[in-house]
Amino acid sequence: MAHIIVVGNEKGGAGKSTVAMHIATALVRMGHVVGVLDLDLRQRSFGRYIDNRKDFMAAEGLDLPCPIYRELPNIAKESLGPGENVYDQRLSAAVTGLEREVEFILIDCPGSHTRLSQVAHSLADTLVTPLNDSFVDFDLLAHIDPRTNRVLGPSVYAEMVWNARQLRAQAGLDPIDWVVVRNRVGAQAMHNKKKMEDAVNALARRVGFRVASGFSERVIFRELFPRGLTLLDLRDIGVQNLNLSNVAARQELRELVKELRLPGVTVDF
């Protein structure tokens, strides 16, 4: 059985596709076979990231490590049984097809609540939730008292993850290893940064997730997307002397992959 990694957060702009692409290509570089799916059927940010990578390789004559990307197959509605949902069947068919070929399946979810996203979360062995350093984003996970910043209780996204955990338990599957990744964190030790850290750690104990560090806010990520590149590709395209920001970003990626604790993965980049 392939280990399924789901990258999910119901708010756009959290850096899901950047995190997903870097995790997937890092695993491929370490010798693992990885299949990827993009469930945002409208925007396709992750799918376009893969397309950009293939176009850049073709234009430059390069052969960079790349995960296996699959579109969700079409399912004829007349083939559905009573009560069956076409989106459930499309996702199931895509996962079943990839499982025969890969060790890991990484699924990038849209920044909104959809049926596809809900089902994907119930399939997750590892759930990665990038979270920007903002109480606007934090509100998806929990309600807080505006005067004391005390966590009052789980919010909409945490409730969906809880439901997914219940479905897995009913099916006799292992619990989801939920990792909330603090992403796009500013370099300065600001007061808001400390309050966010305290709130996330308090919620982690209450709701049941692990906290990991993601990527700091860096211009390099905006520059990589149009060419479909990641931090680990820079030397392959001729950048021999990485600047301090790029070196620090590679270290952040290394630490993130380590903190995911994926089965059979030894970080060696």
pLDDT of the residue at 186: 65
pLDDT of the residue at 133: 79
- Answer yes or no: are the C-beta atoms of 12 and 112 closer than 8 Å: yes
- Collect the ranges in the chain with pLDDT lower than 70: 186-192
Tokens 């692409």 appear where? 21
Nearest to 93 by CA among 116, 74, 76: 74
φ/ψ (deg, to 5) at 255: -65, -40
Nearest to 34 by CA among 46, 43, 25: 25
pLDDT of the residue at 53: 98
Q: What is the distance between the alpha carbons of residues 186 and 215, in angstroms, rounded to a whole number?
A: 9
Q: What is the distance between the alpha carbons of residues 214 and 31, in angstroms, rounded to a whole number?
A: 23
Instruction: Retrieve residue 154's tokens.
Output: 């789980």
Nearest to 21 by CA among 88, 67, 83, 71: 67
pLDDT of the residue at 79: 85
* Residue 166 neighbours by CB under 8 Å, 6+ apart: none
Q: H or E segment at 252? A: helix 244-260
- For the chain, domains (ranges, CATH) are 3-260 (3.40.50.300)
Segments in 77-203 forming alpha helices (H): 86-99, 115-123, 135-138, 156-170, 191-203
* Residue 264 neighbours by CB under 8 Å, 6+ apart: 32, 103
pLDDT of the residue at 205: 84
